[in-house]
């Protein structure tokens, strides 16, 4: 394997990523509306029905309850998609709140933290109480 091959490969990667940006831009992370999240979760979780929910005001994350069994799901936007996790005692390491800002620390190597900017201080407090064991 020559230096030329390696340099050419790196140059090729840079050009392809640049072309990707020119053609498609950069996706703004957005979890979407509660309805959209619920539709997505219903495809992943048998019998999922949306219950109570909170969507971060920056649209980057959300918490949504499965009304069918009261389990709770964390949703975070990643690129043009979303990533979901069912909240469990094993997964949730700690919950913190600073005013309207709710922060969840997870025991997950690729998903260590989620921030939810609640619409009000009261809502953030309510979800904090709900999440704390």
Partner 1 sequence: MGNAVEAVTLPNPTEIATPLFIVLVVAEMLFVRFAGRGHYEMRDTATSLVMGFGSVLSGALFAFLFIAFARELAPHRITDLGWSWPVFLAAFLIDDLTYYWWHRASHRIRWLWADHVQHHSSQHYNLSTALRQPLTGAFTPGLFFRAPMILLGFPLPMIAFVHGVNLVYQFWIHTEAIGKFPGWFEAVMNTPSHHRVHHATNARYLDSNYAGIFIIWDRMFGTFVAEDAKDAPRYGIVKNLASYNPVRVAFHEWIGIVNDIRHAPSLRDALLYLVAPPGWSPDGSRETSDSIKRRWNEYRAARVAGE
Q: How far is CA 85 from the centre of its chain?
A: 8
Least distance to partner 1, CB of residue 10, Å:
7
Least distance to partner 1, CB of residue 97, Å:
21
The one segment of 23-31, 51-59, 93-101, 125-133 that binds partner 1 by CB under 8 A: 23-31
DSSP 8-state assignment for residue 27:
P
What residues are paired with 74 via a beta bridge?
63, 85
- The three-class DSSP label of residue 91 is coil
The one segment of 19-27, 51-59, 95-103, 118-126 that binds partner 1 by CB under 8 A: 19-27
Instruction: Determine how many CB atoms are found less than 10 A away from the CB of residue 85.
Output: 17
46 lies in the binding site for partner 1 (CB under 8 A): yes
What residues are paired with 64 via a beta bridge?
53, 73
The one segment of 50-58, 83-91, 96-104, 118-126 that binds partner 1 by CB under 8 A: 83-91
80 lies in the binding site for partner 1 (CB under 8 A): yes
- The three-class DSSP label of residue 133 is coil
Residue 95 near residue 102, CB atoms below 8 Å: yes
Q: What residue ranges bind partner 1 (CB under 8 A)?
A: 1, 5-6, 9-10, 12-13, 16-17, 19-21, 23-27, 43-44, 46-47, 76, 78-81, 83-85, 90, 108-111
């Amino acid at each position: 394997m020559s230096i030329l091959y390696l340099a050419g490969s790196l140059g090729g990667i840079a050009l392809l990523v640049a072309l990707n940006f020119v053609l498609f831009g950069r996706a703004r992370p957005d979890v979407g509306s509660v309805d959209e999240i619920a539709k997505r979760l219903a495809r992943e979780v048998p019998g999922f029905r949306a219950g109570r929910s909170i969507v971060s005001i920056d649209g980057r994350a959300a918490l949504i309850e499965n009304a069918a069994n009261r389990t709770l799901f964390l949703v975070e936007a990643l690129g043009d998609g979303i990533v979901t996790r069912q909240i469990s005692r094993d997964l949730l390491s700690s919950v913190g709140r600073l005013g309207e800002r709710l922060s969840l620390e997870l025991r997950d190597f690729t998903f260590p933290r989620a921030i939810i900017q609640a619409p009000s201080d009261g809502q953030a407090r309510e979800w904090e109480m709900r999440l704390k064991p």
